[in-house]
Amino acid sequence: MKTLHSTILVLLLLVIGCDDQKAALADKFDKLQQQHDSISQVHSKFKSIHGEMSQKHQEFASKLEGMEIQDSTVLEDVAKHEAILKKHDALLAGHDEIFSAHEELRKGFGQKSAAEMEAQLSEMMDTHKKLMEEHGNMEEEHEMMENEHETIMAKLDSTNTNGSE
């Protein structure tokens, strides 16, 4: 009888401990969801900025088509920018898929075991870190491209001004 009581007590402690652990994981998940929502907003804003940058690049490339360019590095820079923008397109599409996958993970989170919850949270935190790093890198590349566009246009303007004198 004593072993039966001991066994029941151990099982109750395990169940209570598991419930506490799951409650703590659910809180952690809620905080992660807030971070997810914030990252999602940054992502949406950046997609808009990226669209504007792509449009500016197209306009810039079209402007260059009508010019006689003496400096071959200008065309190399334009090609490099185009490759960067295509890479950003792919990254942003991948981020969209990740956001959709996270929405799916949100469903039924509370019904998972504590181990499954922990694994899912760990993966989501790693993914969030990766998303933030990639957004940071893309922002830096956009800034670099804008600066190079300005430099190229200044070069071309000075060449046109010097050539017409």
Indicate the pTM of the whole model: 0.76
Q: Give the C-alpha separation, 102 to 50, whole Å.
A: 23
Mean per-residue pLDDT over the chain, rounded: 82
Residue 142 falls within a domain, yes or no? Answer: yes
DSSP assignment string, the chain: -HHHHHHHHHHHHHHHHHHHHHHHHHHHHHHHHHHHHHHHHHHHHHHHHHHHHHHHHHHHHHHHHTS----HHHHHHHHHHHHHHHHHHHHHHHHHHHHHHHHHHHTTGGGS-HHHHHHHHHHHHHHHHHHHHHHHHHHHHHHHHHHHHHHHHHHHHHHHHHHT-
Work out the percent of the chain whose per-residue pLDDT is above 90.
Answer: 35
- The amino acid that residue 61 corresponds to is A
Q: Which domain holds residue 88?
A: 46-62+74-106+128-156
d(CA 139, CA 100): 23
The sign of the torsion formed by the CA atoms of 160, 84, 47, 89 equals positive
By CB atoms closer than 10 A (0-12, 13-18, 19+), residue 60 is middle
Kindly state whether residue 98 falls inside one of the protein's structural domains: yes
State the pLDDT at residue 14: 44
Number of domains in the chain: 1
Residue 30 lies in a domain: no
Q: Which pLDDT tens digit goes with each residue over 48-103?
A: 999 999 998 998 888 888 777 777 788 888 899 999 999 999 999 999 999 888 88
Instruction: Please indicate, yes or no, if residue 162 is contained in any of the structural domains.
Output: no
pLDDT at 113: 87
pLDDT value of position 1: 52
Place of tokens 């935190």: 125
> Quick check: is 161 in a domain?
no
Contact present, 36 and 102 (Cβ < 8 Å): yes
Domain-located, residue 3: no
